[in-house]
Amino acid sequence: MATEARKRRNPDGRMSLGEHLVEFRKRLMISAAAIVVALVAGWFLSPWVWDMLRQPVTDLVDSGRDAQISYADISSGFDTKVQIALFIAILIASPVWLYQVWAFLAPGLTRREKLTGVGFLGAAVPLFLGGAYAGWLVLPNIVRLMASFQPEEDTFNLNARNYLDFAVKLLLAVGVGFVMPVLLVMLNFIGVLRGAAIIRSWRIAILVIILFAAIATPAADLMSMFLLAAPIVLLFFIAAGIALLHDRRVDKRRAAELADYDLEDATEAPAKPEEPGRAKGRS
């Protein structure tokens, strides 16, 4: 009843600043509750995830190299497990908090923007996970490269916190890199960026992608840099192709609408009145 009364008072659905703050607090509390619940699952999954992340170090040991992950102080083991559990919880609860962000923004969007946003989320999530997996694939190459700079008779000793921080940042950076082409497509669909502008900047885009891959991987590891840069470059050109096809459809539709509009103006235009002088001459 209260909702119906509010709709009668405000048929446009506009919200005051106070209502926006209440809505934001509601969405934030739901997201936080989902992350807290997922944190329990993350706590039990953390040993398995930690075994996967430190697998490159285990491979070094299996190859005969003296390598180990150490814990610098008495609380490092607990802190590492909490960080891993929180990372897992954010991933597990991502459908909930992404929906809450969408539900908070959706009332202010047009129907076209809503459809574009749904398509963006639908494509961004699997691409982000694929990028994180690609980062995990190149992680062993990076660890082997870093170990090669030390004498083999010395222990390759890695601090647990620093190693976890490096591995997580690598996975997140590559995941975000895989999502960037989808962002270009979204900007094109909402009319901010033309496909021709995207394809004209391909040289700059490739340079930026290579720099991004070089920052995400050690400078001497050219193979890992190539393995990261190649799929992102491919996704960039796919995004440019989608944008060009979308622009072509939009231009054709606008040209057809303009032609129909000109035809309607021509048929509905009133007959031009005769000049008085000519009318009198005929009489």
pLDDT at position 266: 61
Residue 250 lies in a domain: yes
d(Cα 139, Cα 224) in Å, to the nearest integer?
8
Residue 82 lies in a domain: yes
pLDDT at position 264: 63
Residue 79 makes CB contacts below 8 A (sequence gap 6+) with: 161
pLDDT at position 33: 92
Residue 3 lies in a domain: no
Backbone dihedral angles phi then psi of residue 243, each to the nearest 5 degrees: -65, -40
Average pLDDT of adjacent 10-residue blocks, the chain of 283 residues: 46 64 86 92 92 89 87 88 90 82 73 74 83 86 84 86 88 86 83 86 89 75 80 90 89 79 61 53 47
Residue 179 lies in a domain: yes
Residue 9 lies in a domain: no
Backbone dihedral angles phi then psi of residue 6, each to the nearest 5 degrees: -65, -35
Residue 278 lies in a domain: no
Structural domain containing residue 260: 14-266
Q: How many domains does one find in the chain?
A: 1
Residue 279 lies in a domain: no
